[in-house]
Structure 1
């Protein structure tokens, strides 16, 4: 099987090594060191990762991520590069591809697109197809807070109705699967997506909080 998640992981780690711990990212409040710490905790410390959902654990999570982010950056990136430990189901290639493709693709672009000299990548069509499949699985969750209807159109891949209209009409989003993924996961300021709809509906979509947050 083609392991796009692994490829994105390794490319992201190359960028983290190149930039060091203090470069900006598209994740608000996080430099590259903070992002590396997040990725490590997500796979190696599920006892802390639960702090994302459980408020009483959030303090421990933040303290440990801060400690890791200010430690040995090269060693931390190397641990992320090595993947999940054997006891974690994400160490299995099929689980890794399912659970980590979007995670590592989006965070790779979070690092790339926060740099002043970034340029779009010419992505493998197979990666675009995999991202389109992943987006179709999660789009309803990502756009759940939108007051507008959402139709996603990726030329050569198809269309997907991600949400029915609510307070407003429908907005059509056109772009490659990669750019639509970035938009759906809240990277709206850097995603190269065309929006089609009434001005009020487009404005309402701009005001919506997208993604998992």
Structure 2
């Protein structure tokens, strides 16, 4: 069985070494060393990882991440490449569920911040694995957005999301939908149909988990 989480992890690690510690990423304010530190915090620092999603703990998480980012970059990449076996998000039992989207998105965060990038031709299996998670991600990311969205991935399926209102249609391969719904709208190549005011609002909305 293909291990897409690990293949995205290894490709990201290779890319991090290729571009170096101070290359830009899609994440505002983050260089590649910051992104690597984020991944290490998530996998190796459960005491601080909760701050990624819980605002009261964010200051502590930011301090831990900054300390990690100051370490030698090759050391950071080695830790990204080789997760600890005991990590609650990276052990073999759960990794495909918890890390496929995570590492795909962050791989693209680095790729799409570099000059001359082009979308990858993703394996069908990876697209299928991402699509399994897209409907749930859409319902979460768009739960307050004032429209009824039909989300279509040709060859994979369709789903619906949104809080209700006028109709919008979002069409793209699963990988591009994943990036869009994770808040990377400006680099996601999607087709978005509907009233201009609403489509513009969605393209600039703060999305993500």
TM-score of the superposition, structure 1-length normalised?
A: 0.93
Instruction: Rate the CA distance shift 1:91–1:102 in 2: closer, same or farther, 3 A.
Output: closer
Q: Deviation per CA, 1:139-158: give whole Å up to 9, x if none.
A: 10011232222111111011
Match of 2:138 in 1: 139
- Matching residue of 1:61: 61
Aligned to 1:171: 168
Q: Distance in 2 between matches of 1:181 and 1:54?
A: 22
Secondary structure at the aligned position of 1:89 is classed as: coil
Residue in 2 that maps onto 1:22: 22
- How much has 1:117 moved relative to structure 2? 2.0
Quick one: distance in 1 between partners of 2:4 and 2:113? 22
2:94 aligned counterpart, secondary structure: helix
The corresponding residue for 1:50 is 50
- Counterpart position of 1:127: 126
Q: Does 1:201 align with 2:198?
A: yes
Structure 2 counterpart of 1:186, from 183, 188, 192: 183
Which whole-Å CA distance do the structure 2 matches of 1:130 and 1:56 have between them? 33
Within 2, Cα distance between the matches of 1:56 and 1:176? 36
Alpha-carbon distance in structure 1 between the residues aligned to 2:52 and 2:178: 21
Distance 1:188 1:126, change over 3 A: same
| Matched-pair contact (CA < 8 Å) for 1:151–1:160 | yes
Q: Do residues 112 (structure 1) and 115 (structure 2) align?
A: no
Uncovered stretches (5+) of structure 2, i.e. residues with no partner: none
Calculate the aligned-residue CA RMSD, in Å.
1.4
CA contact (8 A) 2:145 2:163 kept: no
TM (normalized to structure 2)?
0.94
Q: How many residues align?
A: 209
